[in-house]
Amino acid sequence: MARKSMRAEIVEAALEQFHIRGYNAAGVKDITDAAGTPKGSFYNHFDSKEALAVVALERYGAACRMEDLADSDVEPLTRLRRHFEFLRDETVRHEFTRGCLVGNFAAEIADRSDVIRAGVRQSFQQWAALITAALTEARHAGSVRPDLDPETTARFLLSAWEGTLVMARADRSANAFDSFFTVAFDTLLVRDGGHTGA
């Protein structure tokens, strides 16, 4: 198997370091050490740590399998539920020590960096657009009530999810996830009192 490019190795290491340490605590040397690359090589690939953070956000979206939300071979509510189940399982796998990198950056650094705030905003917009599209399909298929507003609901689900992650990390427990899935999929995203299932 071909070795990853030095740039790709730096991005992968940055994603891990930002997720473990946070943006401010993860220095360029920490990232290049984790990547096994010389610190001096960093600026051959990135103008700044901020620029790397934006690329890491993009890589995070890919790691979260956002493309699954657009898989037309899977019923839209099923793919939406599976998406959040995957994210829940990743959080549990890491023993509740990591949240959503987009939300983490929004809370930690977005107020002090226009570059990262723009990256966070774009990440949330792309995520919301994919959820909106799935909910629009579900509405057209009659899987949810016809007056459901897909765009507003998508934004609400993302806000609820980010809050759920904060609660789960604070409690070191999956209880918050149980509440999210019950309210989102058994109350909000049902038609005529039905049950969506998975």
DSSP string, 113-166: -HHHHHHHHHHHHHHHHHHHHHHHHHHHHTSS-TT--HHHHHHHHHHHHHHHHH
C-alpha to C-alpha distance for 152 and 112, rounded to whole angstroms: 28
Mean pLDDT of 145-157: 96
Q: How many domains does the chain have?
A: 2
Q: What pLDDT, on the 0 to 100 scale, is given for residue 40?
A: 85
Predicted TM-score of the model (pTM): 0.89
C-alpha to C-alpha distance for 5 and 10, rounded to whole angstroms: 9
Q: What pLDDT, on the 0 to 100 scale, is given for residue 3?
A: 57
Q: What pLDDT, on the 0 to 100 scale, is given for residue 191?
A: 82
In terms of domains, do 89 and 47 share one? no
Q: What pLDDT, on the 0 to 100 scale, is given for residue 41?
A: 87
Cα distances (Å, whole numbers) of residue 126 to 3, 25, 46, 90, 167: 30, 27, 23, 21, 24
In terms of domains, do 120 and 195 share one? yes
Mean pLDDT of 157-172: 95
- Chain Cα centroid distance, residue 18: 14
C-alpha to C-alpha distance for 118 and 116, rounded to whole angstroms: 5
In terms of domains, do 59 and 69 share one? no
Of 43, 53, 182, 192, nearest to 115 by C-alpha is 53
pLDDT at 198 over 50: no
Mean pLDDT of 13-26: 93
In terms of domains, do 163 and 102 share one? yes
In terms of domains, do 94 and 178 share one? yes
* Per-residue model confidence as pLDDT tens digits over 98-149: 889 999 999 988 788 899 999 999 999 999 999 999 999 999 999 999 999 9
In terms of domains, do 48 and 72 share one? no
In terms of domains, do 134 and 72 share one? yes
Which DSSP string corresponds to 24-44? TT--HHHHHHHHT--GGGHHH
Expressed as residue numbers, the domain containing 195 is 65-198
CATH code at 54?
Answer: 1.10.357.10
Q: What pLDDT, on the 0 to 100 scale, is given for residue 179?
A: 96
**Of 40, 63, 86, which residue constitutes the final position of a domain?**
63
* Per-residue model confidence as pLDDT tens digits over 34-88: 999 998 889 999 999 999 999 999 999 888 989 999 999 999 999 999 999 999 9
Q: What pLDDT, on the 0 to 100 scale, is given for residue 196?
A: 44
**Residue 47 — φ and ψ, nearest 5°?**
-75, -30
3-12, 146-155, 162-171: least confident range: 3-12
Residues in contact with 97: Cβ distance below 8 Å, sequence separation at least 6, in sequence order: 20, 169
In terms of domains, do 33 and 72 share one? no
